[in-house]
Amino acid sequence: MFAVTRPPLQDNPNGIQQRDTNGNLLYFERVQNPDGTFTTRSTTNPLAADGVTANVPSIIPNSRFKEIFLGDSAAPRVSIGIGVNWNSPFGPFRIDFAHVLRKQPGDDTKRFTFNVGTQF
């Protein structure tokens, strides 16, 4: 709407899948032993030995996250304030005080700013 391009966002509700040293995704494969018991081993193959059953992805613990884009809103942002400029012997000073009346999620609001020097 305001020529803001939405960035590609990551959504990992289950977590990030682990990779081996070569960068291949890792899976857990359940293998039956000759005595009838089952063993779980790590593999890079997404399919089990039967070629039909999917292996379980190996997820990094506590790696669930979702990125959210905050921006590109048509709602106005409104604030009021006062600023003072002073050309001191050390250079120009600028002090601003503001109060936010309307903001949107993700806005970085500031009540006080202080600047020394000039802009280039």
Give per-residue pLDDT as tens, 22-50.
999 999 999 889 999 999 999 999 999 88
CA-CA distance, 69 to 54, in Å (whole number)?
Answer: 33
Give per-residue pLDDT as tens, 48-88.
988 888 999 999 998 998 888 776 777 888 999 999 999 98
Instruction: Please report, for the chain, the start and end positions of each structural domain, with discontinuous segments joined by +.
Output: 10-67, 78-116
Across the beta sheet with 38-43, the strand order is 38-43, 27-32, 56-57
CB-based contacts of 66, cutoff 8 Å, min separation 6: 9, 10, 11, 12, 13
What is the pTM (predicted TM-score) of this model?
A: 0.48
Q: What is the mean pLDDT of the chain?
A: 88
pLDDT of residue 55: 93
In the predicted structure, residue 13 carries a pLDDT above the cut 90: no
